[in-house]
Amino acid sequence: MLQRFKSLYWRLCLLSVAQMAIAKDARAIQPSDCQPGHMDSSCAKAIDSDPRLPPPPPRPPTAFPLAGQPASGYFYWGYDFSSGDTDQFDDPRFVNRSGRDLVITLSFSIPGPPCGGGCLPGVEFYFDQDVHKRDPRLQVAGNTAKAVVPVKPGDRYAFIIGLWQARNPIVAVTLPDGTPVSPELVGLSARPDIADQVSGTPTLCTCDGGSQAECNRGDHYSNGLSGKWSQTMGLSRFNEWTRCQRDGT
C-alpha cells in the first residue's frame, strides 16, 4: 500500500511540474507577440499590415495648373530661376539645363463643338537656339486643346499664352517616351500651380545714350509669369520703371 502511495505521489508531482512548464511557455508566447510587422514560428499565420500605420505618401503630381494666367490678353512666361533678378535679360528665358531632350505640353479646356472663332488659345514659343519662334499646332480632342513642344538640351525658351475662350491652362513635362518628370528639369518652377509675386530689385541700367541710371526690371511671379506681351512692344513686366530720360540719357 505504501509503495502504491509513493508511486501515485510521484506521478502527481511530475504532472504538476509539466503543467507549470506549459503555463510558463504559455506566458512566454502570448498572442501579443504576433503583432503586425512581427512574424515567427510562434505565430499561426502571416500578420496583416498594421492599420494604424500612415498611408504611403501620394505620388507627386505629373501636371500642374498654370497659376496666374489672366483671362484676356497675351502673357509671357520665361524666367531663369538659376540667375538673380538683376541678371535677367529684357526678355528672360527658361533654360533647359537637364542635358536631355524633354517635351512640354500645355493643355486647355475649350468650349465644345461647334467651336467658333476665338475659342482656341493662342500659344507661341520663343527660342534662342534652333528656331526663333514656333507656333505649335494645337491638337484638339473634345473639350481639350494641347500644344506639344520638344525642348533640346541647353535651349533657352519662353512661351506666350492668350486664353480667349479657353480656360484652365495646365503644364506637364515629360521625356520623349512620355515618362513624367519634374518641371524643374526643363527650367520651369517646381510649382507652376503657385504664383507668388516676387518684387524686382532696383539696379543700374544702361540708357539708350550710353549713360546709366537707376531702374527696376520689374516684378515677376514665382512660376515664371513675367508680364504682358505684344507683338509690337514685346515683354512689359509688372512694375517696371527706369530713370533714363526720354532722350536716352
* Domain CATH number, residue 164: 2.60.120
- Tell whether 158 is covered by a domain: yes
Contact indicator for 206, 115 with CB cutoff of 8 Å: no
Q: What is the DSSP letter of 72?
A: S
CA angle 102, 107, 112 (to 5 degrees): 155
Which residues on neighbouring strands pair with residue 150, listed in sequence order?
A: 103
Question: In angstroms, rounded to a whole number, what is the distance separating the alpha carbons of residues 227 and 195?
Answer: 12
- Tell whether 152 is covered by a domain: yes
- Tell whether 101 is covered by a domain: yes
- Tell whether 97 is covered by a domain: yes
Predicted confidence (pLDDT) per residue in 151-186, tens digit: 999 999 999 999 989 999 999 999 999 999 999 999
Predicted confidence (pLDDT) per residue in 112-130, tens digit: 777 766 789 999 999 987 6
Extract the C-alpha cell encoding 186: 526643363
Q: State the pLDDT at residue 121.
A: 93
Q: State the pLDDT at residue 62.
A: 81
Q: Which helix or strand (DSSP H or E) is residue 206 part of? A: strand 202-206
Q: State the pLDDT at residue 2.
A: 47
Which residue numbers in the chain have pLDDT < 50?
2, 5, 17, 22-29, 31, 38-39, 47
Q: Provide the percentage of residues in the chain whose pLDDT is more than 70.
A: 74
Structural domains counted in the chain: 1
Helix ranges (DSSP H) in 29-122: none
Q: State the pLDDT at residue 34.
A: 55
The CA–CA distances, whole Å, from 158 to 92, 130, 196, 201, 229 equal 8, 13, 19, 22, 11
**Beta strand pairing call for 74-77 and 102-109:** unpaired
- Tell whether 52 is covered by a domain: no
- Tell whether 200 is covered by a domain: no
Other C-beta atoms within 10 Å of 95: how many? 21
Q: State the pLDDT at residue 119.
A: 86
Q: State the pLDDT at residue 48.
A: 54
Predicted TM-score (pTM) of this structure: 0.72
Q: State the pLDDT at residue 162.
A: 95
Q: Is 188 left (phi over 0), alpha (psi -120 to 50) or beta?
A: beta
Q: State the pLDDT at residue 66.
A: 95
- Tell whether 215 is covered by a domain: no
Other C-beta atoms within 10 Å of 216: how many? 19
Domain that holds residue 87: 63-180+187-193+222-237
Which amino acid, 72?
A: S
- Tell whether 21 is covered by a domain: no
